[in-house]
Structure formats: C-alpha cells, structure tokens
C-alpha cells in the first residue's frame, strides 16, 4: 500500500466523520447511523494494517487523525445527552 493510498483512506474517514458530525448537529440519527456503518467499513481497512509513513505524509496523517478525533468528540457531545433520554441506551 502506498502512502497516497494510506492518506486516501484517512481522508475518506475524516470526510465521513465530518458528515457524521453534521448529521448529529441536525439530529439526523438515521443518517448518522448509515454514515457510521460506512466509517466502520473504512476503519476496518485501516485496522488491517497500513505501512508507517514519514515526512510530509506522516504529518498529514496526524492532521487527519486530529480531525477524526475532533469530529468524534463533537458527535459524542451531541449524541450522549440524547442517548441518555432513550430507554435502555444510556452510555454511563
């Protein structure tokens, strides 16, 4: 797998998590769920192992990971209070 392919996978995940955050902001839980499935599929590919990157590609990967984590935090900040109102869905 080339560095371009690795970065493409992370860019896809960052884009999906950005869409997920937008869906959460709009309260589109069905849309969020669908995007979450797509994101999980992409993440499994990353979990299968990717080569280490160096130089500029490594820095880009770090930037993408920060974006993914920021989107994840936003989604959780929005979804957790809602989840706590749904019987049987509390995340405590």
In-domain check, residue 90: no
Query: The domain spanning residue 34 has which CATH number?
Result: 1.20.58.380
In-domain check, residue 88: no
* Domain that includes residue 73, residue range: 3-83
In-domain check, residue 89: no
List pLDDT tens digits, range 58-92: 999 999 999 999 999 999 999 888 666 766 665 55
In-domain check, residue 91: no
pTM: 0.85
Count: domains in the chain:
1
- The arithmetic mean of pLDDT across residues 26-32, rounded, is 94
In-domain check, residue 52: yes
List pLDDT tens digits, range 2-26: 889 999 999 999 999 999 999 999 9
CB 14 within 8 A of CB 67: yes
In-domain check, residue 63: yes
């Amino acid at each position: 797998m080339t560095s371009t392919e690795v970065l493409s996978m992370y860019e896809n995940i960052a884009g999906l998590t950005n869409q997920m955050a937008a869906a959460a902001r709009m309260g589109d839980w069905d849309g969020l769920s669908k995007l979450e499935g797509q994101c999980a599929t992409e993440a499994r590919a990353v979990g299968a192992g990717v080569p280490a990157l160096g130089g500029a590609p490594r820095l880009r990967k770090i930037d993408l990971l920060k974006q993914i984590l920021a989107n994840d935090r936003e989604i959780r900040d929005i979804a957790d209070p809602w989840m706590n109102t749904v019987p049987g869905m509390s995340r405590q």
